[in-house]
Amino acid sequence: MRDWQLAMSRHLRRASRSGAGAVSGTGNAAPSIAYEIAREKAAALGRLGQRLEAALGELEAFDRDRPAFVPLSLGERTERQRLLAHAARALWYPGVHRAACGLSSSAQLMRDYRVPEEVRRRMGAQEPIASAPESDV
């Protein structure tokens, strides 16, 4: 189980113990709302993780399909830079979301997804990527 899954499952258990789901017409809906918010946070983090995996997979496939001793053409270098920027951006989103969920360390994220150092160095605010899909988290 990944660290974010573990942390979010703990959060969901706490919300459920506090009475989430035991909402009646006269009861307090706050625990139920807190539970639903925690579930959505976990689901959003999962979607962001899937996007990160996909972006890292595309970069890895690009590198794997080319012999290391053959220099890249201009078009291939441009495509690799685009894939690298896309992976770095895909890494940025779960990093920010994790922090918003109270998961402060990104070391586990880097280990879980085996994020290459090259992608780690590029994570953060960058110029917009013309052909990158927009986030709809």
**By 3-state DSSP, what share of the chain in percent is helix, strand and coil, each rounded to 5?**
65, 0, 35
Domain ranges (residues) in the chain: 3-122
> Sorting pLDDT into bands at 50, 70 and 90, what band is 89?
very high
**Pairwise CA distance, residues 108 & 4, whole Å:** 9
Confidence of residue 131 (pLDDT cuts 50, 70, 90): low
What is residue 22's predicted lDDT score, i.e. its pLDDT? 45
- pLDDT band for position 23 (50/70/90)? very low
For residue 49, give every residue at least 6 positions away whose Cβ sits within 8 Å of its Cβ, in sequence order, or none.
2, 4, 94, 113
- Between these two residues, 25 and 55, which has the higher pLDDT value? 55
pLDDT of residue 123 exceeding 70, the answer is yes
Torsion of CA 111, 54, 98, 5, to 10 degrees: -70
